[in-house]
């Protein structure tokens, strides 16, 4: 396929939401089976980092709308992948760059999407789409070159992400080890990002284990700490992880990010609720309650800890846009978590100190091996 937008290569595509709202555009990326791709449609506000977003396993089951109008201008490269392959169902953009220009670039975004089998639609009025999602909430949708009636039927048939165990589709099948730091950490892989492993590897020798690993198997590895990773979907479907975390609390220091934070909160008795359209972007202001400092953070989640539902701990961070709980800490055992992403590739890095906080917690509660 030629570069998108070149004469003779335009293929009309449509995006149809479950409520019937329809957008016209141009097919880019891979060709989905039968000309139909679908999933829960969400929007992300990042200005850069589109490759990191697309390869984040937390987007399993979702179609990503980029609010920034110009996507693909600096190309792609292998070093920026957050996982082995994209888990998202597709991408929606206003304009897919016809030329890439960056000294690190190894290829173009359109060819990269085709290589990984990710379909896309360009030329969409993403401002209108984003406003609609903000008003109506994230909802299933379908897009592709099939006729609008077929796409509408596919959108209505999409289950969304509620009640679906998406973690099982992105977790590792076998344990593996990375890093060589002084501590020993077991990291639960609910959809773990490469940049998180990079940060943890600077602190510890990290053994990454499948999401369904029982607590007894983790404790048998005699770790200094346990890390709970990010991941996709509804935490209510990962009850096996909540059970394991509950058995680990008080036995070993625990640190959770994003889904890991939600699962930690659930193990501490908190209630998890779905947000209307989630938080997806690299510019969310969060207040750190211990000193009032404001951090700009990277976020990617559709669920959150319900305000006032945590009885066995305290809230440590709050989102300044809408008051959503952004961080918690147990008051009786060494455990804490944050909803945002302190590893944030490519940024911001305001919250990166949390990895040092985890190291301090492990040092304070160190036990002889």
149-207 residue pLDDT tens: 999 999 999 988 888 899 999 999 999 999 999 999 999 999 999 999 999 999 999 99
Domain count, the chain: 2
* Stretch 123-138: mean pLDDT: 97
Q: What is the mean pLDDT of residues 103-132?
A: 98
* Beta carbons of 177 and 207 less than 8 angstroms apart: yes
In a domain, 264, yes or no: yes
Same-domain check for residues 192 and 313: yes
- Among residues 136, 157, 178, which one ends one of the domains? 157
Q: What is the CATH number of the domain that holds 88?
A: 3.50.30.20
Residues 178 and 323 in one domain: yes
Q: Quick check: 65 and 126 in contact, CB under 8 A?
A: yes
How far is residue 174's CA from residue 177's CA, in Å, rounded to a whole number?
10
Identify whether the C-beta of residue 353 lies closer than 8 Å to the C-beta of residue 342.
yes
Residues above pLDDT 90, as percent of the chain: 92
Indicate if 112 and 253 belong to the same structural domain. Answer: no
At 5 the pLDDT is 41
Within a domain: 123: yes
Q: Is residue 287 part of a domain?
A: yes
Single residue among 124, 157, 190 that ends a domain in this structure = 157
CA distance 355 to 235: 23
| Residue 347 confidence class, pLDDT cut points 50, 70, 90 | confident
pLDDT given for residue 163 in this prediction: 86
Looking at the DSSP assignment, which residues form a beta bridge with residue 55? none
What is the predicted pLDDT for the residue at 161?
86
Instruction: Confirm if 203 and 358 have CB atoms less than 8 A apart.
Output: yes
pTM (two decimals): 0.94
Domain boundary among 126, 157, 188: 157
C-alpha distances (whole Å) from 251 to each of 75, 96, 299, 304, 319 are 46, 50, 29, 26, 30
Q: What is the mean pLDDT of residues 44-64?
A: 97
pLDDT of residue 85: 94
Evaluate whether residue 51 is within a structural domain. Answer: yes
Widest CA span in the chain: 69
Calculate the average pLDDT of the chain: 95
Question: In sequence order, which residues have a C-beta less than 8 Å from that of residue 338 and are 6 or more positions away?
Answer: 256, 257, 258, 261, 316, 317, 326, 327, 351, 354
Please state the rounded mean pLDDT for residues 217-225: 97
Query: Is residue 89 pLDDT above 90, yes or no?
Result: yes
H or E segment to which residue 201 belongs? helix 194-203
Q: Which pLDDT value is given to residue 155? A: 98
The CATH number of whichever domain residue 206 belongs to comes to 3.40.50.880
Residue-number span of the structural domain to which 117 is assigned: 12-157
Name the residues annotated as catalytic: 258, 341, 343
């Amino acid at each position: 396929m030629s570069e998108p937008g070149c004469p003779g290569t335009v293929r009309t595509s449509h995006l149809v939401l479950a409520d019937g709202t329809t957008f016209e555009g141009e097919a880019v990326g891979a060709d989905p089976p039968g000309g139909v791709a679908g999933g829960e449609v969400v929007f992300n506000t990042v200005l850069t980092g589109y490759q990191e977003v697309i390869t984040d396993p937390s987007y399993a089951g979702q179609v990503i709308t980029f609010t920034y109008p110009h996507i693909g201008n600096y190309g792609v490269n292998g070093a920026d992948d957050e996982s082995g392959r994209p888990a998202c169902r597709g991408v929606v953009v206003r304009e897919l760059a016809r030329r890439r220009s960056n000294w690190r670039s190894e290829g173009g975004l359109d060819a990269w999407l085709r290589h990984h089998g990710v379909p896309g639609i360009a030329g969409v009025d993403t401002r209108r789409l984003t406003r609609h999602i903000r008003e109506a909430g994230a909802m299933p949708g379908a897009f592709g070159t099939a006729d609008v009636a077929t796409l509408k039927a596919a959108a209505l048939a999409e289950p969304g992400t509620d009640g679906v165990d998406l973690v099982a589709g992105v977790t590792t099948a076998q344990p593996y080890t990375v890093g060589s730091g002084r501590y020993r950490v077991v990291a639960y892989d609910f959809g773990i990002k490469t940049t998180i492993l990079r940060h943890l590897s600077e602190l510890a020798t990290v053994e990454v284990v499948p999401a369904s690993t029982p607590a007894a198997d983790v404790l048998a590895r005699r770790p200094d700490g346990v890390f709970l990773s990010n991941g996709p979907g509804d935490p209510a479907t990962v009850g096996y992880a909540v059970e394991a975390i509950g058995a680990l609390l008080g036995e070993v220091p625990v640190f959770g990010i994003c889904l890991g934070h939600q699962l930690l909160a659930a193990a501490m008795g908190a209630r998890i609720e779905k947000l209307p359209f989630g938080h997806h972007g690299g510019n969310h202001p969060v207040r750190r309650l211990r000193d009032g400092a404001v951090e700009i953070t990277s976020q990617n989640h559709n669920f959150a800890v319900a305000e006032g539902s945590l009885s066995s701990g305290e809230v440590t961070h709050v989102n300044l846009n809408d008051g959503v709980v952004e961080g918690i800490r147990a008051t009786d055992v060494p455990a804490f978590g944050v909803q945002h992403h302190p590893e944030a590739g490519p940024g911001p890095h305001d919250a990166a100190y949390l990895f040092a906080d985890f190291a301090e917690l492990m040092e304070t509660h160190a036990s002889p091996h």
